Amino acid sequence: MHKMDISTERKVVIVVIALFLHLVLVSTHVVLENKRTLFQTAIGVVISPFQIAFQKTVDFISNQFQRYIFLHGSEKRNQELTEQITQLKLDINRLKVQVHDLEFLAHVRKQNIKYHNPIKVDVISIDRNAPLSSLIINKGYDSGIKKDMIVLNGDGELVGKIVEPITPFTAKVRLITSSNGGVGAYLEKNLLEGFIIGSNTSVCIFKYLIESKFVGVGDRVVTSGTDQIFPPYIPIGIVTATEKELLTQKVIVKPFFIEKSIKQLLVAENFQEISFTAIPERPSSSEEHR
């Protein structure tokens, strides 16, 4: 047998390849801690960068297609989403109004005064020429509003009464500070009776009080019920100043509602239908369950 004439470099290369193949064979039997063979791990290490690069390239191209080519439905979709957003904003506003209404009604309930079918209303307009004369509310005779119904604030204090005009969806409220009309009233501490007249300012005048009777600053004034419009014992205001006149005295009264919000009001039936009996204590939760 004679030996072939092969260059040393070529022999070395072939031997190295042969040995490498043996190493590959060995690596298929070596199990690493990750339960994979060395061969699988090596292949994974070698292949994974290409795999990741390929995946990212495909993702990138897909995204570009999605962004720039498949946009024909985006305008319609945008319009739908805009409509949804608008509807949601309206819903949020409606819910906010409902929350405010509920808060107001809860506050009213705390005042311990019971009305027959009170109607909660919102003020939508105030007379710009005489802001303390009258205002417009957002409910009319469609909601059961009638002339001469009494108007109270959230604390159950007198604000005014319903007057004409009354439309299906709005009604006018004449405030007790208006120079038109008046309210029969007396001092709460001694039942000294008189008549409250407004002056289109933030105070009212308590007229027809006998000069000899003492009236102190800070005395509370409530309705007397003698005018047959307002039921008795509704808080009106507080005495802020007195002035002696011939036979009578002039008393300045500041209504309670002046310093409080009149954004939300209560409209209740007038004298005949209203009662001021205290609301009985609510039964405890355990009693309710029973």
Partner 1 sequence: MERKAKFILLAIFILLQIAVQRYSNVFRINLDLIYLILVYVAIKSNFYKTLIVATIIGLATDMFSMQILGVFGFARTALAFALNEISNHIDFKNNVVVFLLISISLCLSNSIANLFFYFIEPGFGLSLNMILYQPILTGLAGIALLGNSRIKRILDVY
Looking at beta carbons only, is 21 or 217 nearer to partner 1? 21
Looking at beta carbons only, is 28 or 57 nearer to partner 1? 28
Looking at beta carbons only, is 28 or 93 nearer to partner 1? 28
Q: Is 23 in the site for partner 1 (CB under 8 A)?
A: yes
**Which of the stretches 23-31, 62-70, 93-101, 245-253 binds partner 1 when contact is defined by CB under 8 A?**
23-31
Q: State which of residues 13, 14, 217, 241 lies at the interface with partner 1 (CB under 8 A).
A: 14
Cβ(134)–Cβ(123) under 8 Å? no
Rg (CA), the chain: 43
Handedness of CA 213, 218, 219, 225 (dihedral sign): positive
Q: Is 9 in the site for partner 1 (CB under 8 A)?
A: no
Q: Is 32 in the site for partner 1 (CB under 8 A)?
A: no
DSSP 228: S
Q: Give the C-alpha separation, 288 to 156, whole Å.
A: 28
Looking at beta carbons only, is 23 or 52 nearer to partner 1? 23
Looking at beta carbons only, is 3 or 128 nearer to partner 1? 3
User: What would the two tokens of residue 92 be?
Assistant: 């949020």
Q: Give the C-alpha separation, 49 to 38, whole Å.
A: 18
Residues contacting partner 1: total by CB under 8 A: 18
Cβ(185)–Cβ(195) under 8 Å? yes
- Rounded to a whole number of angstroms, the minimum distance from the CB of residue 36 to partner 1 is 15
Q: Is 3 in the site for partner 1 (CB under 8 A)?
A: yes
Q: Is 13 in the site for partner 1 (CB under 8 A)?
A: no
Q: Is 24 in the site for partner 1 (CB under 8 A)?
A: yes
Q: Is 279 in the site for partner 1 (CB under 8 A)?
A: no
Cβ(177)–Cβ(258) under 8 Å? yes
Looking at beta carbons only, is 13 or 210 nearer to partner 1? 13
Q: From residue 139, how far is each of 35, 158, 215, 219, 271 by CA, in Å?
A: 78, 19, 39, 35, 21
Query: Which region holds residue 218: left if phi is over 0, alpha if psi is between -120 and 50, else beta?
Result: left
- Rounded to a whole number of angstroms, the minimum distance from the CB of residue 34 to partner 1 is 16
Q: Give the C-alpha separation, 70 to 79, whole Å.
A: 17
Q: State which of residues 13, 28, 168, 233 lies at the interface with partner 1 (CB under 8 A).
A: 28
Looking at beta carbons only, is 1 or 45 nearer to partner 1? 1
**Which of the stretches 7-15, 135-143, 193-201, 205-213 binds partner 1 when contact is defined by CB under 8 A?**
7-15
Degrees to nearest 5, angle at CA 236 with 231 and 238: 145
Using omega within 30 degrees of 0 as the cis cutoff, is the peptide bond preceding 168 cis? no
Q: Is 94 in the site for partner 1 (CB under 8 A)?
A: no
Looking at beta carbons only, is 24 or 58 nearer to partner 1? 24
Q: Whose CA is closest to 199, among 186, 183, 180?
A: 180
Q: State which of residues 9, 13, 26, 244 lies at the interface with partner 1 (CB under 8 A).
A: 26
Cβ(153)–Cβ(180) under 8 Å? no
The residue ranges that bind partner 1 (CB under 8 A) are: 1-4, 6, 11, 14-15, 18-19, 22-26, 28-30
